[in-house]
């Protein structure tokens, strides 16, 4: 009797990529159906949708095409602390740049833009609904669901699975990172924050490529989300007077230019670290 297996080791990168997207779409549809049938609290719905769409999709894809959930994930420890430090610095120094791109992106006007602006407004209202309860327990839940969970699951899905496969398929780190970052932004369905999220994806992508450790982009992603959650919390509890979720809070032309220079400097340092590793390996 012929033995059947769900492990497709010899599949081409293009097939792996298409299957990752298909698995994601099927599970997204299943999640949508479940949440229509079962009325859950908003925070629980958010958490379960992340787990099903990104977590389960990555798990099934890993089992099918890599032989295990962790088989495709890089966790190199050499120079980990250096890349983690660079990642945190990159997050800080890139804020004026990302905010400046956000200002420009949000200023675009075109026919039919009302639909996309309504989608942005709906996303903002959902976030505000999460943040209405300012109790300590609610803050902890928001950090777990809105900051930590997406940081872990989205990085495994986009950087470890999709980006790695995309790079192999295109035989180019640059185009693999760019295309993955575009898909990363598109999947959030927010046109007027599309470009800032693309650049966020590029930063995360290169952090993974340079560090060869998925923990580095996960921590970057988590802190980025955490700043938003804490910003809402501090504003809603009147601890701070300025709503840092507002577009343009960190942008000035001068800071934008300085931010670009600092980003370039940090990328150059990562390049030198990687080059040094290659030389030592030889």
The rounded average pLDDT for each run of 10 residues, N- to C-terminus, in the chain (282 residues) is: 57 93 95 88 89 95 84 80 95 95 88 82 77 86 94 96 96 97 91 92 97 95 94 86 77 94 96 84 68
Query: What is the reported pLDDT for 3?
Result: 46
Query: What is the reported pLDDT for 6?
Result: 59
Query: What is the reported pLDDT for 188?
Result: 84
Q: How far apart are the C-alpha atoms of 17 and 80, rounded to whole Å?
A: 28
Query: What is the reported pLDDT for 7?
Result: 64
Query: What is the reported pLDDT for 1?
Result: 40
Contact 66, 72 (CB under 8 A): yes
Q: How far apart are the C-alpha atoms of 187 and 116, rounded to whole Å?
A: 14
Q: How far apart are the C-alpha atoms of 163 and 168, rounded to whole Å?
A: 9
Contact 149, 53 (CB under 8 A): no
This prediction's pTM:
0.92
Q: Nearest CA to 184 among 219, 221, 226, 212? A: 221
Query: What is the reported pLDDT for 256?
Result: 96
Query: What is the reported pLDDT for 78?
Result: 81
Count how many residues are written for the chain: 282
């Amino acid at each position: 009797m012929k033995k059947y297996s769900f492990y497709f080791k010899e599949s081409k990168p293009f097939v792996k990529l298409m299957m990752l997207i298909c698995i994601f779409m099927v599970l997204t549809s299943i999640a949508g159906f479940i949440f229509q049938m079962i009325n859950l609290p908003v925070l629980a719905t958010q958490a379960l949708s992340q787990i099903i769409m990104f977590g389960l999709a990555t798990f099934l894809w890993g089992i099918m095409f890599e032989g295990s959930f962790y088989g495709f994930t890089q966790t190199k420890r050499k120079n980990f602390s250096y890349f983690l430090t660079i990642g945190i610095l990159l997050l800080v120094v890139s804020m004026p740049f990302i905010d400046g791109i956000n200002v420009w992106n949000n200023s675009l006007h075109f026919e039919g833009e009302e639909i996309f602006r309504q989608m942005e407004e709906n996303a903002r209202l959902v976030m505000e609904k999460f943040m209405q309860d300012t109790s300590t327990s609610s803050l902890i839940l928001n950090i777990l669901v809105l900051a930590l969970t997406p940081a872990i699951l989205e990085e495994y899905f986009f950087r470890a699975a999709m980006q790695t496969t995309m790079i192999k398929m295109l035989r180019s780190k640059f185009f693999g990172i760019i295309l993955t970052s575009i898909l990363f932004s598109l999947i959030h369905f927010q046109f007027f924050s599309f470009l800032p999220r693309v650049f966020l994806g590029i930063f995360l992508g290169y952090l993974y490529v340079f560090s060869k450790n998925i923990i580095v982009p996960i921590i970057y992603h988590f802190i980025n989300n955490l700043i938003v959650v804490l910003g809402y919390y501090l504003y809603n509890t009147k601890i701070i007077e300025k709503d840092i979720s507002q577009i343009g809070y960190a942008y000035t032309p001068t800071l934008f230019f300085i931010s670009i220079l600092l980003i370039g400097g940090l990328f150059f340092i990562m390049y030198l670290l990687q080059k040094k590793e290659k030389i030592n390996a030889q």
